[in-house]
Structure 1
Amino acid sequence: MPERRGLTFRSRYFDDPAAWRALAGLLEAVFDIDVTVMDRLGGPDPSSVPFAWFDAAGACIANITAFSLPLVVDGAVVQAAGLQSGAVRPDHRGQGLYRDVMEAALRHCDDEGFEAVALLTDTPDLYTRHGFRPVAQYRFSGPAPMGGEAAPTRRLDIGKADDIAAVTRLLDERQPVSARFAPLRQRAMFLFNASLMPDLRLDLVGEAAVAWRMEEEGLFELLDIAGPDLPSLADILASLRIAPSRVIVHFAPDRLGWTGEAVADAGEMVLMLRAPDGLLPQHPFALPPMAEF
């Protein structure tokens, strides 16, 4: 790691409360996101390894964090890593600080034997030089299925400790929502994303936490499912006692007993993978919004 005058390079610092708060300050300044909400949700992913520059006053100047993100890709388990919390304070940009932390994070991923590395960004050109390439994501749209079997349901509130514990258990026991592409586990981001979505509805349907929303009259959007068994889409709708005219599923629906039309996602955020050709998904897919990082 090159020397940077007035700066100190640090890694694996999440056990230092002051350094964690300094990272939170960086992310709030750059992205206007308060990550300290994670403190009441179980904390950051325990596999997280941050790489950062700090100044003499203890402010976090540049950071990126690697974490374990095991995936199912086309039915096979891939030991992948994710990169998140990548940021540089505006007054320190153009000095190579982000390149430093990115290269350190990628060396870590290579040393740990990760087969693939994933990230989400609205500036994809910044990462192609590091071996990443964009992969297309899709949403799946179609008419709502009928004839499902209703299961007991209960609304979950991510602001309540008991419901956080219930969702955490289901996340730890979850089955991947798709065999095409899905995280095997990603507890921290599911809970964090739930806390950021005011329009999210989270319901316990049988033994699964179902994340969904109604964007407009007659349109049901399924964002994710967490649990040891996955209910079919028809059973979910019957359990929620709703009969939408149209459905959008934000992940490949191959395990839902329903087939929708794959529509290319036109969102600003681009999923990028650093992986061999053989580990890239071969069929339309999407990372569930509750797993976004």
Structure 2
Amino acid sequence: MAKRLDSAGLTFRQDYFGDPAGWAALVCLLQDIFGIDIGPLQQLGGPDPASMPFGWFDAGGELAANISAFALPFVINGRVVHAAGLQSGAVRPQWRGRGLYRDLTAKALDWCDQQGFEAVILYTDKPSLYEAYGFRSIPLHRYEGAAPAPSTPAAPARWLLPTASGDLALLQSLLKNRTPVSASLGVTANAAMFLINTQLDADVRISFLEDQQAAVAWKIDDAGRFSLIDVVAAEIPTLAAILGGLEVAPASAEVFFRPDKLCWPSVPRPLESGTRLMLRGLGDIALTSPAMLSPMADF
């Protein structure tokens, strides 16, 4: 039998991102539990306006437990799905074992159902925690292969600094009009997640290819291995065009989404990570090709 909810000393709140104290409480919770600072999101356009947080607060205004739902439309096997994501799930140690997180998860899923979302997705390293709610794991694959010869660009790419107002406005415009990076699996909108992830991974570089009107998230290690993390554009350029614009000529490349639009022969490899992508809804739909969501959509 599931343990009954014990919320003594706590107050339930919903939809508190418009309250500076409520937002600050969530920033503090995620910093304390995961060491992740989402505070800079306020300077990057703020949290997704579709976000709906659910939380239990103590008498001093500290957030004891939280989970947030938000609209996350994505494409799977060429089909656009009206979906939601769950994120920022955490409970402070002193409040665990009282059924708070189970209560918030049920409230968030009920809200998603009421909003008419046909699916809900989340990332977790504890998949068994969500299987009871109807979630199932989706196998994830990156791709690797020999890098193509770079094509000659009309102009070299330039760095984008998301915290600079002009670059932020450009990124926001590109994100608003982006096409899914893959027809197999890709988000159709995820501005807040993309922007905060530029701040959470110091190794990610963001470059703008003006002739392609594309923002590229990428990495290159000391050994010269090139990693393509995401491409934000109305039309996805080829990998050869991307490498040409970036003025890099690596021997090999890895891509963290299915490269069906990159004109690049490659092979899928299972993603080596303890974190799982889980899906609730859409019947028994499964990926028809190995794929993954870009890490810039991680939430």
| TM superposition score normalised by structure 1 | 0.97
Structure 2, unpaired ranges of 5+: none
* Secondary structure at 2:60 match in 1: coil
Structure 2 counterpart SS, 1:277? coil
**Displacement of 1:260 after TM fit?**
1.2
Alignment partners' CA distance in 2, 1:275 and 1:252: 22
User: Whole-Å Cα distance in 2 between the matches of residues 119 and 257 of structure 1?
Assistant: 30
Query: For residue 171 of structure 1, what is the aligned residue in structure 2?
Result: 175
What is the one-letter code of the residue matched to 1:12?
Answer: D
AA at the equivalent of 2:184: R
Unaligned runs of 5+ in 1: none
For the 8 Å contact 2:6–2:100, the answer to whether it is kept is no
Q: Which whole-Å CA distance do the structure 2 matches of 1:98 and 1:250 have between them?
A: 31
Q: Does 2:50 correspond to 1:12?
A: no
C-alpha distance in structure 1 between counterparts of 2:160 and 2:177, whole Å: 17
The CA deviation string for residues 234-274 of structure 1, in whole angstroms up to 9 with x for no partner, is: 11111112110100000000011113110001112111111
2:266 to 241, 260, 271: 260
1-structure distance, mates of 2:123, 2:154: 35
Q: Does 1:201 align with 2:244?
A: no
Q: CA deviation at 1:87?
A: 0.2
Comparing 140-149 with 42-51, greater Cα deviation is found at: 140-149
Pick which of 263-272 and 150-159 moved more.
150-159
One-letter amino acid matched to 2:32: A
Determine whether 1:181 maps to 2:196: no
Q: Distance in 2 between matches of 1:120 and 1:147?
A: 35
* 1:155 CA drift (Å): 1.1
Contact kept in structure 1, 2:6 and 2:99, CA below 8 Å? no
2:82 aligned with 1:79, yes or no?
Answer: yes
Counterpart Cα distance in 2 of 1:97 and 1:147: 53
1:251 matched to 2:257? The reply is yes
Instruction: Output the CA distance in 1 between the equivalents of 2:258 and 2:222.
Output: 22
Deviation at residue 283 of structure 1 after TM alignment: 1.4
1:111 aligns to what?
A: 114
Query: Shift of residue 90 of structure 1?
Result: 0.5
* Conservation of the 8 A alpha-carbon contact between 1:151 and 1:205: no
Between the aligned partners of 2:235 and 2:295, the Cα distance in structure 1 is: 20
1:30 corresponds in structure 2 to 33
- What residue in structure 2 maps to residue 154 of structure 1? 158
The answer on 1:92 being equivalent to 2:95 is yes
Residue matched to 2:138: 135
Percent identity between the aligned chains? 46
Partner amino acid for 1:90?
Answer: P
AA at the equivalent of 1:150? P
1:151–1:235 contact (8 Å) kept in structure 2: no
Aligned amino acid, residue 25 of structure 1: C
Q: Per-residue CA shift, 1:156-184, capped at 9, x if unaligned?
A: 11231211111111111111100000000
Q: Structure 1: how far apart are the matches of 2:275 and 2:35?
A: 16
Counterpart residue identity of residue 239, structure 1: G
| Partner residue in 2 for 1:57 | 60
1:272 partner SS: strand
Alpha carbons of structure 1 residues 86 and 140: separation in structure 2 relative to 1, 3 Å: same
1:145 corresponds to 2:148: yes
TM-score (norm 2): 0.95
